[in-house]
Amino acid sequence: MSRFAAPIAEQIWDMKYRLKTAEGEALDRTVEDTWRRVARAVAAVEADPDAWEDRFYTALEDFKFLPAGRIVAGAGTDRSVTLFNCFVMGTVPDSLAGIFDHLREAALTMQQGGGIGYDFSTIRPKGASVTGVAADASGPISFMDVWDAMCRTIMSAGARRGAMMACLRCDHPDIEAFIEAKSDPARLRNFNVSVLVTDPFMEAVKADATWDLCFDGRVYRTIQARDLWNRIMQATYDYAEPGVIFIDRINQMNNLAYCEEIAATNPCGEQPLPPYGACLLGSINLSRLVTDPFDPEASLDEDALDDLVGVAVRMMDNVVDVSRFPLEAQAREAEAKRRIGLGVTGLADALAMVGVRYGSDEAARLTSRWMRLIARAAYLASARLAGEKGAFPLFDQAAFLSSETMEAMDDDVREAVARHGIRNALLTSVAPTGTISLFAGNVSSGIEPVFAHAYTRKVLQKDGSRTEEEVVDYAAQVWRDKHGDVDLPDHFVSAQTLSPLEHVKMQAAAQTWVDSSISKTINCPEDIGFEDFKDVYVEAYESGCKGCTTYRPNAVTGSVLSVDPSTLSQPADNTGEVVYMSEPLDRPSELEGRTYKLKWPGTEHALYITINDLVLAGYRRPFEIFVNSKNMENFAWTVALTRMISAVFRRGGDVSFVVEELKAVFDPRGGAWMEGRYIPSILAAIGGVIERHLVETGFIPAAGLFSRSEPDTEAAVVGQTAKACPNCGSFELRMVEGCMTCLACGHSKCSG
At residue 260, the 3 state secondary structure works out as coil
DSSP secondary structure letters along 348-406: HHHHHHTT--TTSHHHHHHHHHHHHHHHHHHHHHHHHHHHHH---TT--HHHHHTSHHH
Residues 6+ away with beta carbon under 8 Å from 51 = none
Cα three-residue angle 441-445-447, rounded to 5 degrees: 135
* DSSP tag of 343: E
Q: 397-435 b/e with 16+ CB inside 10 Å = b?
A: eeebbebebbeebeeebbebbeebbbbbbbbbbbbbbbb
Q: In whole angstroms, what is the distance from residue 708 CA to residue 725 CA?
A: 6
d(CA 402, CA 423): 17
CA distance 78 to 652: 41
Q: Which of 53, 105, 241, 270 is catalytic?
A: 270
Residues with Cβ within 8 Å of 485's Cβ and at least 6 positions away in sequence, in order, are: none
Strands 164-169 and 115-119: parallel
| Amino acid at the residue 330 | Q
Calpha distance 213→422 (Å, rounded): 41
The rounded distance, in Å, linking the Cα atoms of 7 and 470 is: 9
Q: How far apart are CA 342 and CA 279, in angstroms?
A: 10
- Residues near 396 by beta carbon (within 8 Å), at least 6 away in sequence: 258, 259
Torsion sign (Cα): 475, 477, 483, 487: positive
Q: Which of 254, 266, 285, 318 is catalytic?
A: 266
Contact 298, 356 (CB under 8 A): no
Query: What distance in Å separates the CA atoms of residue 405 and residue 342, rounded to the nearest whole number?
Result: 15
Give the whole-angstrom CA distance, residue 365 versus residue 509.
7
725 is catalytic: no
Which position among 151, 167, 170, 268 bears the catalytic label? 268
- Residue 270 is among the residues annotated as catalytic for this protein: yes
Rounded to whole angstroms, how far apart are CA atoms 328 and 321? 13
Residue spans of beta strands (DSSP E) within 59-99: 65-67, 86-88
Is beta strand 115-119 parallel, antiparallel or unpaired with respect to 86-88?
Answer: parallel
Coil, helix or strand at residue 619: strand
Rg (CA), the chain: 26
Would you call 732 a catalytic residue per the annotation? Answer: no
**Catalytic positions:** 266, 268, 270
